[in-house]
Amino acid sequence: MKSVTESTTGCATVIFIDPPLRLACREALPEGTVVTVRGISIGGREIVVMAGPCAVESEEQILRTAEAVKESGARILRGGAYKPRTSPYTFQGLREEGLKLLAEARDQTGLAVVTEVMDARHIDLVSRYADILQIGSRNMQNFTLLEEVGRCRIPTLLKRGMSATIEEFLQAAEYVMKGGNHQVILCERGIRTFETSTRNTLDLNAVPMLKRHTHLPVVVDPSHGTGLWWMVPALACAAIAAGADGLLIEVHQNPAGALSDGIQSLAPEKFDVLMRDLRAVALAVGRTWLARAE
Amino acid sequence: MKSVTESTTGCATVIFIDPPLRLACREALPEGTVVTVRGISIGGREIVVMAGPCAVESEEQILRTAEAVKESGARILRGGAYKPRTSPYTFQGLREEGLKLLAEARDQTGLAVVTEVMDARHIDLVSRYADILQIGSRNMQNFTLLEEVGRCRIPTLLKRGMSATIEEFLQAAEYVMKGGNHQVILCERGIRTFETSTRNTLDLNAVPMLKRHTHLPVVVDPSHGTGLWWMVPALACAAIAAGADGLLIEVHQNPAGALSDGIQSLAPEKFDVLMRDLRAVALAVGRTWLARAE
Amino acid sequence: MKSVTESTTGCATVIFIDPPLRLACREALPEGTVVTVRGISIGGREIVVMAGPCAVESEEQILRTAEAVKESGARILRGGAYKPRTSPYTFQGLREEGLKLLAEARDQTGLAVVTEVMDARHIDLVSRYADILQIGSRNMQNFTLLEEVGRCRIPTLLKRGMSATIEEFLQAAEYVMKGGNHQVILCERGIRTFETSTRNTLDLNAVPMLKRHTHLPVVVDPSHGTGLWWMVPALACAAIAAGADGLLIEVHQNPAGALSDGIQSLAPEKFDVLMRDLRAVALAVGRTWLARAE
Amino acid sequence: MKSVTESTTGCATVIFIDPPLRLACREALPEGTVVTVRGISIGGREIVVMAGPCAVESEEQILRTAEAVKESGARILRGGAYKPRTSPYTFQGLREEGLKLLAEARDQTGLAVVTEVMDARHIDLVSRYADILQIGSRNMQNFTLLEEVGRCRIPTLLKRGMSATIEEFLQAAEYVMKGGNHQVILCERGIRTFETSTRNTLDLNAVPMLKRHTHLPVVVDPSHGTGLWWMVPALACAAIAAGADGLLIEVHQNPAGALSDGIQSLAPEKFDVLMRDLRAVALAVGRTWLARAE
């Protein structure tokens, strides 16, 4: 992968990937991939924010949240219809009904939609409603899913596994690309460490490391990366300063009443404040920011 | 789950599982599950050893290895036909051809067969050849796979995810059992830590912890748990001393020529020596051991 | 510690510290501690940068580096005279000779000096030359050292242990403060995780978490937190965006020839570029930045 | 360190230590070090058990516990007089008074004594009462302490740091040996991982890995390695099966009333049962076991 190992004291400064990446490596497209969906470019100069609830819960919830996040400047609506949950006895998502509600929210707001696909057999169904397919952390090495998503031509957001190394993450992207789907967005979402005060440890080292080794866009999910809503603004700003191309942020109308992940979801007013702060950081690091929705 | 929290200084001595397990918890079957396959009981007093190559590579390889491990006292043949590999460019297994070779080895030796299923759509196919379905570490939270395996009635070996907590591991077993498949064997195979001298850190703490919280049989894979063949004997003995019901060990005719994982595979002669040592440890901790094959 | 546990879904959003902090907790000084040294305020609105080589190596090296970092806007000179090294056979620092060179560099440039003290018996000596005592990661739980440093009245930079939790880090600060030394600066410098592509995983989650739980200033060391010089700028900007009060950055005249840590040291020209970028981020998040030295 | 890298598939099967160990490496003493104290040999064929409370609390406590563990077959009494505690507000040990009580217990029972030294300035004092100096996990890289202990000639038990790699552990032993003290015993006591159901993850992989790379004796502390008294027997047996030369086990007369670590301490009756079980495992793996005290 790295034809040149820049070394200052004999140690490699890049990672050694074996076997080498063929499609995902930086050298394959030095100018960088820009994923385009509904006129939104991810991986270009503009910072793109994807926001919405952990799970789609009801028509009112998703519509009102969609309107709120659009109002604050988000370009893409997130929301889970199929939820991978640790226990079989917890809320598993509204499934197809949830997909329909997402599409309805898209129609009303013009936001693009990203939502998770957990099973290769659901790809067709999810693709009918979503603009971007999300492959979740727990499925980052579900190789049959990666291969099948690689066979379709829908932009794909691939989340890093919670204990995946950077190399494994890139190899997972290579699986998708090998199938022909080159519209892959990588998402750092925190890794599992010994620290227990936060849900995960957001690994912002991953941002420049990925940027150096691949041409794919890199976004960051500070909601899962911290697990605590009040920490999200600080880490969202940090992610942009570290060079991320966008963010994935959980926003809920009523975090205290959320069916899942309420503790890490921002209320719309707090999200709105964050978006103003993010704009200042984005401009400071030479990125552009959407004019706020009029 | 834990009706009684035995506390000596105010700290819980058991883990708190939320929501509670209904089927996998110890209280649901205090006497313990015994999984029976081709007359072999896993979870009873006898220590059961599953051995064979990482991947099925050829007829000669699998037949000769099967005969060797049977000769040394193994009861079950392991071997991958579908291989989850980090890179899409490395050997992915012989697939259905590999399954046929496993079945042939079973016919010749009388050993039962355990092999991995990576995709819910392959369950029927794999079930035609295998006695035990293996769910690999990378799929421990592939919930659609867990649910589908739960719908069949074939004994299932569930490997712990490489960064799964004990609670997540038990919840994954609950997914399988919720579907009606109660023949689940849990397999500790090492976790991912900061230590780099070994491939994984074999977590033998998991053995008594699992035994206390669930009635399911627990086996240990010291091959993946160490990643180094010369460490396997020490950890195999340790696993039995810690209370494991069995072992999963990689054995290859010619480790230096293996297509995958040669470095962690024992040659048959070394496996034979290990089996004699294991017998002594098993008897010392009050377990029984198969009379060697005549 | 937390009189109020703000909960949205029943989970605590702050960490539970037991026994509670008495002196280091946020409630003890809600307005925040500002550590002042040679007219420089750490913990106020201004972002303070401490820069210099890993180790003091020679008079020419430390003087030229001091001049360069001052020129770029650093306020404090870092440099190790006593070096904790993994092996007893590697360079251990110039010791007292190194301290004298640091003092000389201070006299020539007006920069304040921070340097590590590894042994309680050296506190008097190091205090004669340094403005800030550094307690290194490996000594974060060297409780006798913490207690002795607590007895003197010199500002102290306490680095987080490489596997210390936030709670343990705060309790270590409490040890120093209990002795009467309240001038403590906390330094996040990366934690040890499974990821091997970087030396450590810089934990920027720690910044808002510490800020919430303590009134002490928080600085970040992206050099150790990444271990790779070309990643330092991205993470330095991220740290300021996350809310850090300052940075600790390794700079070396000639990284390729450094006796230690060359691979993570910035050359002075790259440091100068970084400082301009940092200024923009600092202003974007509402902090102030020193006018560049004329 | 490793003159030969045995490779089966091109990967090293031993760790690469740089700079190499000179004194601690296996090649320096292929037949292995046997540390002898009061006629007890650690590192020979006999399994040696060190047992006692976490902390010395009172004369009655330490004397009765000493008698009980001797009765069950322990050869060495453990007990902390100086306790490294996370918070400055918790019990820090009886200090010199605790040392005197340990010496009294030694006089009454004939057991040797191991106890921790936390500060180089206490070495003389602790040496007057102890037969073996313990360097605790938090001080494994307190290099000035390692050097000073290296200058005395008292057997030293060096505990692995909670996030120390095997290489760092061996380099720490090299520091002690470089000073001339070759009587070093290594102690695996659990590492810090993401798993929260146990206090630490006991790393029994470390036992064969250390045995291969060094000639020093290796003992295991299952009390800290699990943090739960009911798990100690399983892991103690496993440690011996893995090849450890001895054990360090916490035993307290009245675990529920212990001032520290009660939850991981065995009551004397449970310890007695364990010792019988351990004897069977020791003999099964070819080790010898002391005839029970008459």
Q: Does C264 touch chain A (CB under 8 A)?
A: no
Q: Which parts of chain D have pLDDT scores under 50?
A: 1-10, 292-294
Residue among A94, A131, A128 nearest A111 (CA): A131
Nearest-Cα residue of chain B relative to residue C195:
B194
Look at B13 and D283 and tell me if their CB atoms are within 8 Å. Answer: no
Cα(C134)–Cα(C147) distance, integer angstroms: 14
Q: Does C5 touch chain A (CB under 8 A)?
A: no
- Domain presence at residue C180: yes
Cα(C139)–Cα(C160) distance, integer angstroms: 9
3-state per-residue secondary structure call for chain B: CCCCCCCCCCCCCCCCCCCCCCCCEHHHCCCCCCEEECCEEECCCECEEEEECCECCCHHHHHHHHHHHHHHCCCEEECECCCCCCCCCCCCCCCHHHHHHHHHHHHHHCCEEEEECCCHHHHHHHHHHCCEEEECHHHCCCHHHHHHHHHCCCCEEEECCCCCCHHHHHHHHHHHHHCCCCCEEEEECCECCCCCCCCCECECCHHHHHHHHECCCEEECHHHHHCCHHHHHHHHHHHHHCCCCEEEEEECCCHHHCCCCHHHCECHHHHHHHHHHHHHHHHHCCCECCCCCC
Q: Does A193 touch chain D (CB under 8 A)?
A: yes
CB pairs under 8 A between A and B: 68
Write down the mean pLDDT value for chain A.
94
Number of domains observed in the structure of chain A:
1
3 state SS of A220: strand
Look at C84 and D143 and tell me if their CB atoms are within 8 Å. Answer: yes
**How far is residue B64 CA from its own chain's centroid?**
22
- Domain presence at residue B42: no
Residue among C210, C179, C238 nearest C23 (CA): C179
**Which residues from C are below 8 Å from B194, CB to CB?**
163, 192-194
Of C86, C141, C168, the CB nearest to D168: C86
Look at A144 and B119 and tell me if their CB atoms are within 8 Å. Answer: yes
ipTM of the modeled complex: 0.95
Burial label, D177 (beta-carbon count in 10 A; 0-12, 13-18, 19+): buried
With a CB cutoff of 8 Å and minimum separation 6, the contacts of C228 are: A13, C198, C199, C263, C264
Q: Output b/e per residue, A25-57; b: 16+ Cβ within 10 A.
A: bbebeeeebbbebeebebbbebbbbbbbbbbbb
State which amino acid sits at residue C100: K
Q: Between residues 104 and 163 of chain C, which touch chain A (CB distance below 8 Å)?
A: 163
Cα(D155)–Cα(D173) distance, integer angstroms: 12
Query: How do residues B15-25 score in pLDDT, each as one tens digit?
Result: 899 999 999 99
Q: Using an 8 Å Cβ cutoff, are C163 and A194 in contact?
A: yes
Confidence of residue A291 (pLDDT cuts 50, 70, 90): low
Confidence of residue B13 (pLDDT cuts 50, 70, 90): confident
Number of residues written out for chain C: 294
Q: Using an 8 Å Cβ cutoff, are B79 and B55 in contact?
A: yes
CA-based nearest distance D72→chain B, Å:
19
Cα(D264)–Cα(D247) distance, integer angstroms: 15
CA-based nearest distance A88→chain B, Å:
6
**Which residues from D are below 8 Å from A192, CB to CB?**
194
3 state SS of C121: helix
**How far is residue A127 CA from its own chain's centroid?**
17
Structural domain that includes position C112 = 47-84+91-284
Confidence of residue B12 (pLDDT cuts 50, 70, 90): low
- Domain presence at residue B40: no
**Which residues from A are below 8 Å from B176, CB to CB?**
none
Q: Does B2 touch chain A (CB under 8 A)?
A: no
Residue among C249, C185, C149, C208 nearest C42 (CA): C185
CA-based nearest distance B214→chain D, Å:
14
**How far is residue A21 CA from its own chain's centroid?**
22
**Which residues from A are below 8 Å from D163, CB to CB?**
194
User: In degrees, to the nearest 5, what angle opens at C-alpha B119 toward C-alphas B223 and B264?
Assistant: 10
Q: Using an 8 Å Cβ cutoff, are A292 and A271 in contact?
A: no
Q: What pLDDT sits at residue D12?
A: 64
Residue among A121, A105, A114 nearest A61 (CA): A105
Cα(D94)–Cα(D133) distance, integer angstroms: 17
Query: How do residues B252-287 score in pLDDT, each as one tens digit?
Result: 999 999 998 899 999 999 999 999 999 999 999 999
Cα(C189)–Cα(C249) distance, integer angstroms: 10
Look at B193 and C196 and tell me if their CB atoms are within 8 Å. Answer: no
Q: Does residue A10 have a pLDDT over 50?
A: no
**Which residues from D are below 8 Å from A193, CB to CB?**
194
Q: Does A273 touch chain C (CB under 8 A)?
A: no
Query: How do residues D141-162 score in pLDDT, each as one tens digit?
Result: 999 999 999 999 999 999 999 9
- Domain presence at residue D250: yes
Mean pLDDT of A208-234: 98
Q: Using an 8 Å Cβ cutoff, are B6 and D262 in contact?
A: no
Q: Using an 8 Å Cβ cutoff, are C228 and C264 in contact?
A: yes
Q: Using an 8 Å Cβ cutoff, are A156 and A132 in contact?
A: yes
B201, β-bridge pairs = B191
Nearest-Cα residue of chain C relative to residue B191:
C194
Confidence of residue B106 (pLDDT cuts 50, 70, 90): very high
Q: Does residue B1 have a pLDDT over 70?
A: no
Q: Does D262 touch chain B (CB under 8 A)?
A: yes
Per-residue pLDDT of chain C (294 residues; tens, 9 = 90+): 232 333 334 456 788 999 999 999 999 999 999 999 999 999 999 999 999 999 999 999 999 999 999 999 999 999 999 999 999 999 999 999 999 999 999 999 999 999 999 999 999 999 999 999 999 999 999 999 999 999 999 999 999 999 999 999 999 999 999 999 999 999 999 999 999 999 999 999 999 999 999 999 999 999 999 999 999 999 999 999 999 999 999 999 999 999 988 899 999 999 999 999 999 999 999 999 985 543
Nearest-Cα residue of chain A relative to residue C213:
A197
The CATH code of the domain that includes A60 is 3.20.20.70
Q: Does C84 touch chain D (CB under 8 A)?
A: yes
Look at A262 and C9 and tell me if their CB atoms are within 8 Å. Answer: yes
Count CB neighbours of B14 within 10 A. Answer: 18
Site from A6, A8, A224 to mutate, C interface, most C CB atoms within 10 angstroms: A8
Q: Does D24 touch chain B (CB under 8 A)?
A: no
Number of residues written out for chain B: 294
Q: Does B276 touch chain D (CB under 8 A)?
A: no
Cα(C69)–Cα(C247) distance, integer angstroms: 13
**Which residues from D are below 8 Å from B265, CB to CB?**
8
Which chains contact D through at least 3 pairs of Cβ atoms less than 8 Å apart? Answer: A, B, C
Cα(D192)–Cα(C165) distance, integer angstroms: 10
Mean pLDDT of A40-44: 97
CA-based nearest distance B119→chain A, Å:
6
Burial label, B138 (beta-carbon count in 10 A; 0-12, 13-18, 19+): buried
Which helix (H) or strand (E) is C112 found in, with range?
strand C112-116
Sign of the Cα torsion D268, D270, D273, D277 reads negative
Look at B205 and D231 and tell me if their CB atoms are within 8 Å. Answer: yes
Q: Does residue B219 have a pLDDT over 80?
A: yes
Q: What pLDDT sits at residue B240?
A: 98
CA-based nearest distance B220→chain C, Å:
22
Q: Using an 8 Å Cβ cutoff, are B187 and B157 in contact?
A: yes
Of A165, A204, A234, the CB nearest to C196: A165
Look at C258 and A163 and tell me if their CB atoms are within 8 Å. Answer: no
Look at B193 and D208 and tell me if their CB atoms are within 8 Å. Answer: no
- Domain presence at residue A256: yes
- Domain presence at residue D5: no
The interaxial angle of helices A232-241 and C206-213, nearest 10 deg, is 140
Residue carrying the six token digits 């883990």: B15
- Domain presence at residue B15: no
Task: List, in sequence order, the alpha helices (H) in chain C.
Answer: 59-72, 96-109, 123-129, 143-151, 166-178, 206-213, 222-226, 232-242, 268-284
Mean pLDDT of A71-76: 97
Of D19, D143, D171, the CB nearest to C118: D143
Q: Does A281 touch chain B (CB under 8 A)?
A: no
CA-based nearest distance D49→chain C, Å:
28
Cα(A98)–Cα(A63) distance, integer angstroms: 12
- Domain presence at residue A214: yes
User: In degrees, to the nearest 5, what angle opens at C-alpha B182 toward C-alphas B177 and B184?
Assistant: 90
Omega cis (within 30) before A19: yes
Confidence of residue A15 (pLDDT cuts 50, 70, 90): confident
Q: Does C288 touch chain B (CB under 8 A)?
A: no
Look at D204 and B235 and tell me if their CB atoms are within 8 Å. Answer: yes
Look at D144 and C118 and tell me if their CB atoms are within 8 Å. Answer: yes
**Which residues from D are below 8 Å from A196, CB to CB?**
196
Look at A196 and D196 and tell me if their CB atoms are within 8 Å. Answer: yes
